[in-house]
Every structure is written in structure tokens, then in C-alpha cells.
Amino acid sequence: MAPNIPPDLFAINNRRNVWTGDVIVVLVGSQEKRFIVHETPLRENSAFFEAALGRDWKETADRVVKLPEEAPYQFHVYVHWLYRGLYRGMKDGSQFSPRDLARLYTLGSRLQDHDFQDAVVDAFIYRCGMIPTIPDDNIVYLIFSNTIEGDPMRRFLVHVRVRAGYLELSTMRSVGTWRSSISMLQKQLWKVQRQA
């Protein structure tokens, strides 16, 4: 069972009135799921939307932004967060696996919304703390292949993996086992960097 997450974990204290102003249409995914969203919160929170709507581009004139590579459910979570400052599924227990949170984080990265990314990292840390979990290779690959060098989540994942190796060291009897763990992490990170 997923841990209970405090309702304010995804909250931002300075949420403004986002229910006014012009709306735009965001078409998400290959099926072009239609979202109608107020322009103001998108532009205030996302450098991507600020660029797409703030210049003399086709998106500005048409009032339509297409995100064909994104998943509709993840964008739904993002829009809910924009309007409410939290996602209701976080109140009574996490609805998200670490992989789901990693996908939400990479969405925030592509949309260049640092507050959303911070909220996802907080949820990720809280969830991993409540259910002791070390992010697996797939999560590491997902983050490293969808974020830029120096991204805070990359550093966090390396820290967690190294820390896990350090904690395991206290129970290991052989230095060789510790060395193989560090070697495995190094190989994994090199592999991800070559593929990114």
C-alpha cells in the first residue's frame, strides 16, 4: 500500500487567481487529447509556454499548442497542479509509483516549470522515505535520457544510489562486494550518458 502523503506536499503558498483571462487549447499525445487551460498560469509557471505564447508564433495566433510526445494523464496532473497547487490523489495515499513520478518530473523538465519539478521531487523523496525504495535502473535511465546535464534530479538519483551502496557497505563483509557495487553504478551511468 502506498504511503499517506500530507495534503500540502504538492501545494504552493503563492497560488494566484488562475481562473481569469484568455484560454488556450493544448492538444496532448498522439490522439491529441484536448485540454482547455487558462493562458496566465501556463505562462507564469512554464518557460516553454511563455516562449510558445509570448512570441509571434503560429501557436499564439491559433491559441493552440500541440504536445504530441506527452502523455495525457501526466499533463492532466500538471494542469490540476497549476490550478490547485496539489493533486488530489496525493491526499489520501500516493497514486504514483516512483516511475510515474519520474515521468512527471521529465514533463516538468520539458515544460521548464521548476516549481512543478520541485513538487515532484518532494513527493519522490517522501514516497521513497515512506517505502524504502532505491530507484531502479529504468528510473535512472528515464531521468538521465530526458533531462539535461546538471539537472538536480540526476544528482539526487546518483546520491541515493551511492548512499544505498554506502549503507549496504556496513552489512557487507567483503570489500570486493562494495567495489562491484560502485563499479556497477559507474557502468550504469556511463551507459546512460552514452545513450543520452
| CA dist., res. 48 & res. 30, Å (int) | 19
pLDDT of residue 189: 62
pLDDT of residue 71: 94
For residues 106 and 114, the answer to whether their CB atoms sit within 8 Å is no
pLDDT of residue 165: 65
| CA dist., res. 113 & res. 77, Å (int) | 13
**Interval 5-27: pLDDT, tens:** 444 444 443 455 566 678 999 99
**How far apart, in Å, are the Cα atoms of 196 and each of 19, 62, 87, 134?**
39, 34, 31, 22
pLDDT of residue 47: 94
pLDDT of residue 106: 95
pLDDT of residue 38: 92
| CA dist., res. 20 & res. 72, Å (int) | 24
Task: Profile the chain (196 residues) by mean pLDDT over runs of 10 residues.
Answer: 43 53 91 94 92 76 90 92 70 65 93 90 75 76 86 83 56 42 58 63
